[in-house]
Structure 1
Amino acid sequence: MAVTTASKPLTLEEFLKCPETKPAISEFIAGEIIQKPMPKGRHSCLQYETCHVINQVTKKQKIAYAFPELRCSFGNRSLVPDIAVFRWDNIPFLNNGEVPDRFSLPPNWVIEILSPEQKPNQVIGNILYCIEKGSELGWFIDPDDHSILVFWRDRAPSLQQENDSLPLLSGIELELTVDQLFSWLKMGI
């Protein structure tokens, strides 16, 4: 994970005026520009399947929507969670009903999938920041040990493993266990 520090600290507004880096995605944390690693196979598979499953049960009824790699800029950070789930009523639709390019609020539910090159505490720190700024729920998915660390606004984190049911945003009618989520990786069987 590359960190770029400007000679003079940038503000969030200055960072948002910078062109996007390619092919990597940059985040802005505590005045520093931090490049997220490029997703690899397991990461991409879990990200796609999780978004797909959530959107299958939430989009049609306008309950929520799961966005992959959506830049969310709020407080003094600009983060790009692997998955940002917004309640439908919190999506800042444009007057014509389209999804905007800029989201200036934390997601209701933030999901991060640990990549081998990432520092776990930095990723967890981003989830905690989202929770502090208004997110209701956070998942930290670790593909190596097939566990999910769950964060809430109103209680201590909990570690979910194996057949544990995963907590979701209220109003989302979906039953999903940790084993079911990680079974999406077994595509070659």
Structure 2
Amino acid sequence: MKSVFVSSIAEFLSQANIEASPAWELINGRAIQKPMPTLFHSRLQRNLVNYINLHSESLEAVQEWRCIVPPLSPVPDISVVLRSRLPEEDGPLNGSPDWLIEIRSPDQSTLDLQNKILHCLKNGTQLAWLIDITRQQIWVWQGDDLPNIFSGADILPSLEEIPALSVNEVMAMTGRN
């Protein structure tokens, strides 16, 4: 992963390459390019977004959508936002998603992902999942609570009317659908 120091969020957002694939994030004063997703990561991301959008009238799930949460500019793997908060014009989400979902890539630091999640939780995110495909676990944060680690048949918390999923059901979304 590439990393470059920048002095401010304004400087970061003015750079031409931040929307290149994979996207760049501003985390703790460093512009960091996200890792290229793997096949299983991409499938899981697509299938979770489709599942959430199929089962909700009040929420919308979006892949790789830039958020502005000063002094950070994260690009969660999946941002789930109340439709009433969606902007009228195209562009980043000003604020934290209501539900943030990250899928850990093998070369990503769990600590860096957790720091991004904690920052968003302090700034309005109600629920966060950190999915570790390799370990078949999902770390879940709600409000100010410490994270809980779910695995196997454990049922995961979700927002609004989204039907509950088990960790096994989420991990199965890495398969071909």
Letter of the 1:184 counterpart: M
Distance 2:114 2:146 in 1: 14
**Take 1:73 and 1:42, find their aligned partners in 2: how far apart are those partners?**
28
Distance in 1, Cα, partners of 2:157 & 2:4: 36
Deviation at 1:175, TM superposition (A): 2.1
Provide the secondary structure at the position in 2 that maps to 1:49: helix
Name which of 52, 56, 59 aligns with 1:64.
59
- Are 2:100 and 1:110 aligned? yes
Alignment match, 2:3: 3
2:165 aligns with one of 173, 176, 183:
176
Structure 2 unaligned residues grouped into runs of 5+: none
1:91 paired to 2:86: yes
TM-score by length of 2: 0.94
Once residues 48 and 21 of structure 2 are traced to their aligned partners in structure 1, the CA distance between those partners, rounded to angstroms, is: 23
Question: Is the 1:2–1:35 Cα contact (8 Å) retained in structure 2?
Answer: yes
Is the aligned partner of 1:151 residue 2:119? no
DSSP 3-state at the match of 1:138: strand
Give yes or no for the alignment of 1:138 onto 2:119. Answer: no
Which deviations, in whole Å up to 9, do the C-alpha atoms of 1:29-50 show, x marking residues without a partner? 1221111101111110110000
Gap runs ≥5 in structure 1: 95-99
For 1:33 and 1:56, locate their aligned partners in 2 and report how far apart those are by CA, in whole Å. Answer: 34
TM-superposed deviation, 1:178? 0.5
Q: What RMSD over aligned residues (CA atoms) do the two structures have, in Å?
A: 1.4
- Alignment match, 1:45: 43
**Alignment length, in residue pairs?**
176
Contact 2:40 2:175 in 1 (8 A): no
Alignment check: 8 A CA contact 1:75 1:133 kept: no
CA contact (8 A) 1:111 1:140 kept: yes
Instruction: Report the TM-score when normalising by structure 1.
Output: 0.88
Give the match's secondary structure for 2:73: strand
